[in-house]
Amino acid sequence: MFKHILVAIDGSDLSMKAADLAIGQARLSGAKVTFIHVARKFPIPDALKDYIQAEHLGSDDFYDIDDAVRQVLDGIRDRAKEAGVARVETVFREGKPSRTLVDYARNVKADCIVMGCRGITEIEGMLLGSVAHKVASLAPCTVILAR
């Protein structure tokens, strides 16, 4: 049985399915569940960097943690608690999703990552999303892909 399950949420239907799978597992095993979303850092063009410096704007202004995604994670956390999962948390990170997910799993010693095999940035013809592919290849633990 798993002790700490990390669930990767991008707001897609399959990531929701992953969340439900993890909740079901945690109810049986008493595992801790962490729902994590990684906001991509957009590269800032040089011209814009000058502007940011001139206007004393923090580069944080250009990171995109969507309010909608926060609400989605809050909703999932509440659902997990209602289902009887005692230890639930939500985490937001910024960076490259695959690397950030793998590093986080390693740091907290998660023993399972649950995610969708596809997400919201679907490219037609790809059977497995690039985040799913990289995490499944590089993760330090078991990876469950919801389909």
Ligand X SMILES: Nc1ncnc2c1ncn2[C@@H]1O[C@H](COP(=O)(O)OP(=O)(O)O)[C@@H](O)[C@H]1O
Q: Is 136 in the site for ligand X (CB under 6 A)?
A: no
Q: Which residues are paired to 8 by β-bridges?
A: 36
Nearer to Mg ion, 27 or 93 (CB): 93
Q: Look at residues 108, 112, 101, 98 and name the one whose alpha carbon lies nearest to residue 146.
A: 112
Residues 49-108 that bind ligand X (CB under 6 A): 97
Helix or strand holding residue 50 (H, E): helix 46-54
Q: Is 12 in the site for ligand X (CB under 6 A)?
A: yes
Residues 6+ apart with CB under 8 A from 84: 27
Q: Is 16 in the site for ligand X (CB under 6 A)?
A: no
Residues near ligand X (CB under 6 A): 8-10, 12, 14-15, 18, 36-38, 97, 115-116, 118-123, 129-132
